[in-house]
Chain A
Amino acid sequence: MAATAPRQQGTLGSARLREALVGYAFIAVPMGIFLTFFIYPLVYSLYISRYDWGVFGKIETLGWENYREMWHDEIFWRSIKNTLLYTVVVVPVEMALALSLAVIVNAGIRGKSFFRSSFYFPSLASSAAITAIAIYILSADGLLNAVVGGQRSWFGDSDTALWSIAGLNAWTTSGTMMLFYLAALQAIPTDVYEAAAMDGAKTWRTFSRITFPLLKPGHFFVSVVAVIGALQVFDQAFIVSNGSGGPNYSTLTAVLYLYRTAIADVRFGYAATIGIALFLLIFTLTLIQRLLFGKAETA
């Protein structure tokens, strides 16, 4: 990767050795952390998943029993269904919103940094604080009902709870996604637009025929980030349902079910199994996206 720097003769061997030793010393702590808390857990998780594992460790060897149980666990499948439905809804909304905001901010308008900051603003707030605010605004006698009418508790009704979380997250993440799209928009060469202007192309036509297709790497990157984020949705579901995933399992996302299995039920073996399944799901969907977008380079 890096070119070799010219070196003095003679002491070459020992200097090289010293450089290598210094190099290892400089990365020792980070590598130790990564091996212990990232790489090793991959293997350890597989190991735990083959046991009935409680608060004090192994209880009993189960072999593949946890996997069999998961396959027949209706609540698990309900949580996967919730998560996938949520993802299918929230990702396109996030992307459309983010792209619109990016195009607006990127157009020749005055005060674009003001608008950029306003749109990014919700991305700054913590998930807990913003969820608390959403609970208040979407409560039965909250601000939203005062505007649209009705008495619905949006997070308390199993028909709307998950979609309310989707709306909340589409809003809070759009700012970050907007920044990714802005970077992608900026990467489009200016002469492309000059040529379009010369041809007398209209704004919408320029956008749909030129900008949108040229944003392919941007779409890929944003969609990967959005899908991974959506499949891992947890904080908001946890807070609105007091950690239960209710009402009636409507906000039970896959990660929330994983959390409940591990922490509330203290079934670490089974929870590890769910974690592995979730990892495979995320991994597969990311691969599929990569295939769909062809060889679009990541941003």
Chain B
Amino acid sequence: MNKFKLNINGEQHTVNVDSDTPLLWVIRDTLGYTGTKFGCGRGLCGACTIHLDGEATRSCVTSIDMVEDDSEITTIEGLSEDNPHPVQLAWLEEDVPQCGYCQPGQIMTASAFLKRNPNPDETDIDSAMKMNICRCGTYPQIKKAIFRAANNAQSSAGGDDE
């Protein structure tokens, strides 16, 4: 067991865990942020996606000793200070989820992607989102929501310019 310092959603935590513990289990079991999901344990499905310094990261294959003390971790619970985040808003407007289990991971991947590429085309979205599996098959709704989030951001950015 080792002591690790973590900054999650702007809060400082100190945890005492084995150094090979994946971030996923620290976030879920130790700290109780259960919005981040366990899906495959091997970085294949994307259900566990979080932001590590703004990058979409598979927390199930990122062990805690790989995380720097000053790294900023964001989970679905902390995506926005004043809920909901524009991507979550688009998800609500499109009524995306079915069972909902993969959606926090989908939203974390999509929000990091849109930050990098605010005006994506369909191919960009496909290649960013193909890492996240949804067995209910909400892909068409997810795609629509991403376009909507991008459009919403464009129009509000346009508003700021005026």
A binds B: no
User: Which residues does B use to contact A, with CB under 8 Å?
Assistant: none
User: Which residues does A use to contact B, with CB under 8 Å?
Assistant: none
